[in-house]
Amino acid sequence: CTNGSDEFLSFREKKPVITVISYPAVLLLGTTLMTFRDIKASLLMPFTNKITVSADSSLTEKYMEKVVLPIIRHHQITSQGLDIAEEYRPCEPLLFIEKSIYEETVLRLSFQYGDKTFAPNMPDNNKVVYSLEKEGKIAIRYFFRNRTTEQRLVQELKETHLTRINESHFALAEQAPEKELAEWVLNHRNLLAGNFRLMNAETHTTYCLDEIRMEQSQTVEMDWFE
């Protein structure tokens, strides 16, 4: 690992090494007290005696999940022999119409990035890391959630007389001019069509928000039986 000046730090050169706090790790390295953001002390201690740490092949998947992925999520790393690459995934906002536990019609908001879906929460890190098997080997991919877009859309829903009742759900506010959620959807069709995919929570079908227009015409002519 490196220090705050991007200089490589060797734990073996500083003795004794004492764990002050387990998480986030605070270690006393010789006479220097150092803090390590978003990493457990137990993951650092093996490097006080050796340069590298090995894991049995049967534990590779578990080691990736418990050790490697969390480190990549919170830190910049360099690697050799491990397929690590960044992806770009666009943010697709989804609004589901569903019933609450009180049988009230509400909207549930989520954000979809490819095959991964997230609630509109406030993660401590926008970086999403996952592993997959590619050509028989473990590969690691990561992408970043678009928090600017997510927060903007949450705010826009609040500004249209919706109340956020929990992390994901919105209901009509008491001061809303609409009496039913269906009326709200109709009145805010342009907002929804331009920013969200409105769906039925039970059937997962997408609602069409295009404007419907009906026309009638008539022509005056002689009937054939006349």
Assigned domain for 135 exists: no
Mean pLDDT computed over 59-71? 84
Are 111 and 162 part of one and the same domain? yes
Are 112 and 13 part of one and the same domain? no
Residue-averaged pLDDT of the chain: 85
Are 20 and 99 part of one and the same domain? no
77 pLDDT above the threshold of 70: yes
41 pLDDT above the threshold of 90: no
Assigned domain for 86 exists: no
Assigned domain for 4 exists: yes
- The tally of domains found in the chain comes to 2
pLDDT of residue 91: 96
Question: Model confidence over 202-226: pLDDT tens digits?
Answer: 888 998 877 655 566 666 676 655 5
Residue 162 CB contacts under 8 Å (≥ 6 apart), including other chains: 107, 170, 171, 172, 173, 176, 184
Assigned domain for 2 exists: yes
Are 101 and 163 part of one and the same domain? yes
Are 187 and 98 part of one and the same domain? yes
CB 37 within 8 A of CB 44: no
Q: Residue 186 belongs to what domain range?
A: 92-124+146-200
Assigned domain for 223 exists: no
Are 41 and 99 part of one and the same domain? no
Are 100 and 194 part of one and the same domain? yes
Assigned domain for 118 exists: yes
Give the separation between CA 23 and CA 189, rounded to whole angstroms: 48
Are 43 and 108 part of one and the same domain? no
Residues above pLDDT 90, as percent of the chain:
40
Backbone φ and ψ for 58, nearest 5 degrees, come out as -70, -15
Are 49 and 98 part of one and the same domain? no
Question: Model confidence over 81-130: pLDDT tens digits?
Answer: 888 999 999 999 999 999 988 788 999 999 999 999 999 987 767 999 99
pLDDT of residue 149: 95
Are 107 and 196 part of one and the same domain? yes
Are 169 and 113 part of one and the same domain? yes
Residue 19 CB contacts under 8 Å (≥ 6 apart), including other chains: 25, 26, 27, 41, 45
Assigned domain for 87 exists: no
Count of CB atoms situated within 10 Å of the CB of 114: 12
Assigned domain for 70 exists: no
**Predicted confidence band at 34 (pLDDT cuts at 50, 70, 90)?**
confident
61 pLDDT above the threshold of 90: no
64 pLDDT above the threshold of 80: yes
> Would you list the DSSP string of 17-79?
EEEEETTTTEEEETTEEEE-TT--HHHHGGGGT-S-----GGGHHHHIIIIIHHHHHHS----
Count of CB atoms situated within 10 Å of the CB of 177: 10
Report the DSSP pairing between strands 127-134 and 137-144.
antiparallel
Are 166 and 97 part of one and the same domain? yes
**Predicted confidence band at 6 (pLDDT cuts at 50, 70, 90)?**
low
Q: Which residue has the higher pLDDT, 91 or 27?
A: 91
